[in-house]
Amino acid sequence: MKVNTPKISSPHSHKSGFTLLEMVIVMGIIALILGGAMSVMKGIGSGGEVQRVSSDFSSIGAAVDIYKINNGRYPTTGQGLQALVNAPSPRPKRWTQLAKKVPLDPWGNEYRYREQGKLDGSTYEIYSIGKDKTENTEDDYSSQDEL
DSSP state of 135: T
What's this model's pTM, rounded to 2 decimal places? 0.69
If we measure between CA atoms, which residue out of 75, 99, 101, 102 comes closest to residue 89?
A: 75
In tens, the pLDDT along 5-14 reads 666 555 555 5
Phi, psi at residue 11, to the nearest 5°? Answer: -70, -15
Q: What is the pLDDT of residue 20?
A: 81
In tens, the pLDDT along 132-145 reads 999 999 999 999 99
For the chain, which domains are there?
Answer: 35-136 (3.30.700.10)
Q: What is the pLDDT of residue 38?
A: 65
In tens, the pLDDT along 49-79 reads 999 999 999 999 999 999 999 999 999 999 9
Q: What is the pLDDT of residue 64?
A: 95
Residue ranges of E strands in the chain: 112-114, 125-128, 141-142
If we measure between CA atoms, which residue out of 54, 77, 74, 76 comes closest to residue 66?
A: 74
In tens, the pLDDT along 92-134 reads 999 999 999 999 999 999 999 999 999 999 999 999 999 999 9
- Using the predicted structure, report yes or no on whether residue 147 has a pLDDT greater than 80: no
Number of neighbours of residue 93 by Cβ within 10 angstroms: 8
- Using the predicted structure, report yes or no on whether residue 18 has a pLDDT greater than 80: no
